[in-house]
Chains A and B, each alone.
Chain A
């Protein structure tokens, strides 16, 4: 009876006691853990619970058996061997669970980072092999068997793996960081330190694809993206009804072969030349000296002063406000009228010295579409910062007077397609003839940025 109590009853009772207490503790711990994870909506937690809940029971059984053996009256050697057998079972079982856990977690993260399936399989296999090797090493150590050959082999494999994956690994880590930290996500408008700007199209495990303002796709390695300063404007602002297609305007100067040596000839020629000639001579100064704050002047005023020496007439011509006129015809009439008024008061006309005649030149505009298209105000500002002076000139000066659109193209689009009436009016009110082209660009950008 004593033998039965000492060799069977006590160990069984201890086993059952440990099992009962452990199960109770497991239930409390898992319930608390589940509540905590539910609050945080953690997918990782869910995987850990689902993978470990069942096996935990097996581990408790092993723990109970181990304690039962230790309290039994078996010889120390049997106790030691029994303990080692149970520890080996536990290590093997734990390894198997860790492999499952590793596989599920790898799939969770790498799928999110859009890593190709092949790479997921490779990563899972590496983790499996690593766990198996570590498990074998522990078992060998437990049974006091030599581990050096396996250790050397493991180190060699690790070194080879590191060398093979030295480029991929940082990208992978960066990709995981980007997707996990959610600093940027597909659809965000971002600007990089290097000036590249656009909308995030896709983030993969190695790189991020950005559609730039000129419509091209740039692919930036995630490692570079993590090291640079990014301005994230977030989601796109309101989308315009119609996108704004930026055009650029280049020009040729066509020589008409016509010239004038005095005021009578000037006014006579002015009446017969095409609008493109009047346009050239009233806008040439703005274009030629667009880096200076231009005086709102015209070639007629300059020639009348420099070549003929009529200072008062030059002043009157220079003071004609080109911005006020809706058409070139109306502007021409004004210029002709001012010269005729002066001519009526002149008895002896002055002649320009030879070589200083007024040469009538025609402006030929050549308009080309650029790759830049704005779908919203943010893109519009981004593009404004990088378009050429020719593009700015076309949409501001040519649109209003030469194409007779009533105002500049920017205001038209902002009002009609973005319903930004106030902003459109602010830009319409700007007299572009009083700014350098770069100043004009800056002012319009500031007005738009205020709205953003």
Chain B
């Protein structure tokens, strides 16, 4: 996080009222210490979220701390398998794997300093630390950042025996909820409007990036930002573009990278390049990780942004696109329908032909596109910015143990 960013800077984004309300909640949390525990300080979505949340909450006056669990390589290998299995991927998990997980957790439980009033545990890796609750008490909240809508039952049932002991669980989508005896809250992920990836950019920055990647500033630009993965359906995107290009002069940009832990991605990139052939209006950009300003500029320069995934998590790339007031065409999968309400904040599609039809509607009616984009931006402002995530967490901390439908603070 940019150290210069201050909670006050968000007033211009969400309004003074919103920040005033955050301060009111923060005042009520004064005297409480919240300890976040996850598996890493750097790399991965959770570390990225915490690196922004913790300083902002501290600026609001909430005593929030952050610790990570130590572990051997073997432990993290097991938790990676758990992660994949909870996502629904078939994994070979042995009894030894469960033993490694439990042993490391027991070791960590004896070493970690649990000083705090509320223990905020992120994802499955440290979830079993809840066993310490019988000794130390305190309030425990489990934040599940991953998609567990179709989990491997063996792994989920193993994890569930720990999850049921928490005071509350937080999930990113309604369909991730499980039948659990504890309160489960819905808190979708968020983006930081002041981060490099989302901040406003001057027109010159857009021109620079367009020139850098050899794009035509005068031709409508259709963009999909995603790693080269079959589940993102890049070939479907090219096909939809080809259908649209019969009637509209436009260019397509597929911007992404290849994942080092996904051997298939190189193969997919190769296929995509083959399918694009020598079409000079199709630009395949292999953008290295960390090129946040480039991605930001491409999104801001785009006419339409696509996310024609076959399967998707929450799809923060759609959140980013909507925040830039761009009309989006996206598949109705994963968390996309939560963000894109068809014909109000974007257009949903279920097929390549549907995607092409939606693209044509927007390219032929720029005003309609702008209207969708404006609505999309407002939708993100209300529901998918970091300030909302901060607010949700504070509300959950403040209402732990209260079961009324209307709670007066």
Binding site for B on A (CB under 8 A): 248, 250-257, 259, 274-276, 288-292, 306, 355, 357, 359, 361-368, 370, 386-390, 398, 402-403
Whole-angstrom distance between the Cβ of B81 and the nearest chain A Cβ: 24
Residues of the A chain whose Cβ atoms lie less than 8 Å from the Cβ of B17: 386-389
Residues of the B chain whose Cβ atoms lie less than 8 Å from the Cβ of A362: 405
Q: Is B184 an interface residue (CB 8 A)?
A: yes
Residues of the B chain whose Cβ atoms lie less than 8 Å from the Cβ of A252: 185, 392, 395-396, 399
Task: Provide the B1-32 mask, 1 if CB < 8 A to any CB of A, else 0.
Answer: 00000000000000101101100110010000
A–B Cβ pairs within 8 angstroms, 19 of them:
A250-B391, A253-B187, A254-B186, A255-B177, A276-B405, A292-B378, A357-B175, A359-B177, A364-B406, A364-B407, A365-B405, A365-B407, A366-B399, A367-B406, A368-B408, A388-B15, A388-B18, A388-B21, A402-B406
Residues of the A chain whose Cβ atoms lie less than 8 Å from the Cβ of B398: 366
Interface residues of B in 185-233 (CB under 8 A from A): 185-187
> Which of A253, A257, A290, A359 sits near B382, CB closer than 8 Å?
A290
For the complex, give the distance between the alpha carbons of A291 and B14 in Å. 13
Q: Is B149 an interface residue (CB 8 A)?
A: yes
Contact B341 A289 (CB under 8 A): yes
Contact B149 A257 (CB under 8 A): no
For the complex, give the distance between the alpha carbons of A275 and B405 in Å. 9
For the complex, give the distance between the alpha carbons of A389 and B396 in Å. 20
Contact B392 A288 (CB under 8 A): no
Task: Provide the B382-409 mask, 1 if CB < 8 A to any CB of A, else 0.
Answer: 1100000001100110110000111111
Nearest 5 pairs of A and B residues by beta carbon = A359-B174, A255-B177, A388-B17, A276-B405, A253-B186
Q: Given A289-B344, A388-B18, verify A257-B177 contact (CB < 8 Å).
A: yes
Residues of the B chain whose Cβ atoms lie less than 8 Å from the Cβ of A289: 341, 344, 375, 379
Whole-angstrom distance between the Cβ of A41 and the nearest chain B Cβ: 47
Whole-angstrom distance between the Cβ of B283 and the nearest chain A Cβ: 32
Contact A366 B409 (CB under 8 A): yes
Additional pairs, 7, CB under 8 Å, beyond known A357-B175, A368-B24, A390-B21: A248-B21, A256-B177, A355-B333, A364-B404, A364-B407, A366-B407, A387-B17
Interface of B is mostly: mixed
Residues of the B chain whose Cβ atoms lie less than 8 Å from the Cβ of A306: 342
Residues of the B chain whose Cβ atoms lie less than 8 Å from the Cβ of A254: 183-186
Residues of the B chain whose Cβ atoms lie less than 8 Å from the Cβ of A390: 21
Interface residues of B in 148-206 (CB under 8 A from A): 149, 171, 174-175, 177-180, 183-187
Whole-angstrom distance between the Cβ of B144 and the nearest chain A Cβ: 11
For the complex, give the distance between the alpha carbons of A365 and B408 in Å. 8
Residues of the B chain whose Cβ atoms lie less than 8 Å from the Cβ of A386: 17
Task: Provide the B319-350 mask, 1 if CB < 8 A to any CB of A, else 0.
Answer: 00000000000000100000001101000000
Binding site for A on B (CB under 8 A): 15, 17-18, 20-21, 24-25, 28, 149, 171, 174-175, 177-180, 183-187, 333, 341-342, 344, 375, 378-379, 382-383, 391-392, 395-396, 398-399, 404-409
Contact B408 A367 (CB under 8 A): yes
For the complex, give the distance between the alpha carbons of A359 and B335 in Å. 13
For the complex, give the distance between the alpha carbons of A288 and B341 in Å. 10
Residues of the B chain whose Cβ atoms lie less than 8 Å from the Cβ of A291: 375, 378-379, 382
For the complex, give the distance between the alpha carbons of A276 and B404 in Å. 10
Contact A255 B184 (CB under 8 A): yes
Whole-angstrom distance between the Cβ of B167 and the nearest chain A Cβ: 13
Residues of the B chain whose Cβ atoms lie less than 8 Å from the Cβ of A370: 24
Whole-angstrom distance between the Cβ of A411 and the nearest chain B Cβ: 20
For the complex, give the distance between the alpha carbons of A210 and B17 in Å. 21
> Which of A256, A355, A364, A368 sits near B149, CB closer than 8 Å?
A355
For the complex, give the distance between the alpha carbons of A288 and B388 in Å. 13
Contact A288 B379 (CB under 8 A): yes
Residues of the A chain whose Cβ atoms lie less than 8 Å from the Cβ of B186: 253-255, 361
Whole-angstrom distance between the Cβ of B386 and the nearest chain A Cβ: 16
Residues of the A chain whose Cβ atoms lie less than 8 Å from the Cβ of B408: 367-368
For the complex, give the distance between the alpha carbons of A289 and B375 in Å. 9
Contact A359 B175 (CB under 8 A): yes
For the complex, give the distance between the alpha carbons of A386 and B178 in Å. 40
Whole-angstrom distance between the Cβ of A292 and the nearest chain B Cβ: 6
Whole-angstrom distance between the Cβ of B61 and the nearest chain A Cβ: 16
Residues of the A chain whose Cβ atoms lie less than 8 Å from the Cβ of B28: 368
For the complex, give the distance between the alpha carbons of A274 and B403 in Å. 12
For the complex, give the distance between the alpha carbons of A289 and B405 in Å. 22
Residues of the A chain whose Cβ atoms lie less than 8 Å from the Cβ of B409: 366-368
Residues of the B chain whose Cβ atoms lie less than 8 Å from the Cβ of A253: 185-187
Least CB separation from A357: chain B residue: B175
Residues of the B chain whose Cβ atoms lie less than 8 Å from the Cβ of A251: 395
Whole-angstrom distance between the Cβ of A250 and the nearest chain B Cβ: 6
For the complex, give the distance between the alpha carbons of A250 and B186 in Å. 14
> Which of B183, B344, B405 sits near A363, CB closer than 8 Å?
B405
Whole-angstrom distance between the Cβ of B27 and the nearest chain A Cβ: 10
Least CB separation from B169: chain A residue: A255
